[in-house]
Structure 1
């Protein structure tokens, strides 16, 4: 617990910018735009460098924070209940994927857990650019058969990566 506290306390912004520079964030945004043309789902990509020290002391996990962000950003509030949050907590090297109830009814939780495990391994190897784009592509491949695109659709959630 003490190690985690100091890891979050001293998580420096430059490390986040080095792992995910502007060109990577732009590429993720473009990948989300291209993805959402292929299905009726909505993707939101959020990166947080570290939790507030009090959250760490309370023992808040990356999963708990991801669910909190999912709710605060209203990812659950889409027409087809097809919102997907990709949440990266850099200080913990944690990746969480939170899906809305419409997606959860069609795709088992084990699928998302396996994708998170794969991405965590890629990110540990420093493959942030390729890992993030692979994540968006894998989610696209998962959502397309279950939520086929119906031509022109409105964009319900921003495609821009949110850095907290």
Structure 2
């Protein structure tokens, strides 16, 4: 018989969109969008930021991990569809206070998973202190440093993906 993680299920089932708005009010989302825009001026990569309030029942009972969901979202919001395969998704599952970074194959080959794991950990630590906006912006800047190293800005930059945070 399958053992379910009932605390996780309850946390996700009880999470609401109003909690998301309280943690990430519109001024925070605007600041995050500005940080992405500023960061992308220094490289040719693309950064998408997605916050999901909670997983649905099917995902919870299938025991979908945050990483598995982030991979789905990576595809859903088109991060994989950049010319140089240098898109990066920063995904937050708010109910679990977990962060995943999914990098497209172009940038992933150059950085590996350790760089992204460290950034996720830093963002999660900021969340534990209640510093949601600050943690995300620090994470965006850290991702941007990697993109600047491997995909420096050259000439006119085409913004392939929207900078506005996505709320799911």
Tell me if both proteins adopt one fold, taking TM over 0.5 as the criterion.
Answer: yes
Gaps of 5+ in 1: none
Distance 1:73 1:108 in 2: 22
Partner of residue 33, structure 2: 29
* CA drift at 1:14: 2.0
Of the three residues 95, 102, 117, the one matched with 1:98 is: 102
Displaced runs of 4 or more, over 4 A: none
SS at match of 1:106: helix
What is the aligned-residue RMSD (CA, Å)? 0.8
Partner of residue 66, structure 1: 70
1:9 and 2:13 are equivalent in the alignment: yes
Distance 1:19 1:80 in 2: 34
SS at match of 1:97: strand
Partner of residue 39, structure 1: 43
TM-score under structure 1 length normalisation: 0.97
What does the per-residue CA deviation read over 1:26-72, in whole Å, with 9 as the maximum and x for residues that have no partner?
00001111111100100000000001011101100110000000011
What does the per-residue CA deviation read over 1:1-38, in whole Å, with 9 as the maximum and x for residues that have no partner?
11111111110222211111101100000111111110
Number of residue equivalences = 164
Distance 1:5 1:71 in 2: 25
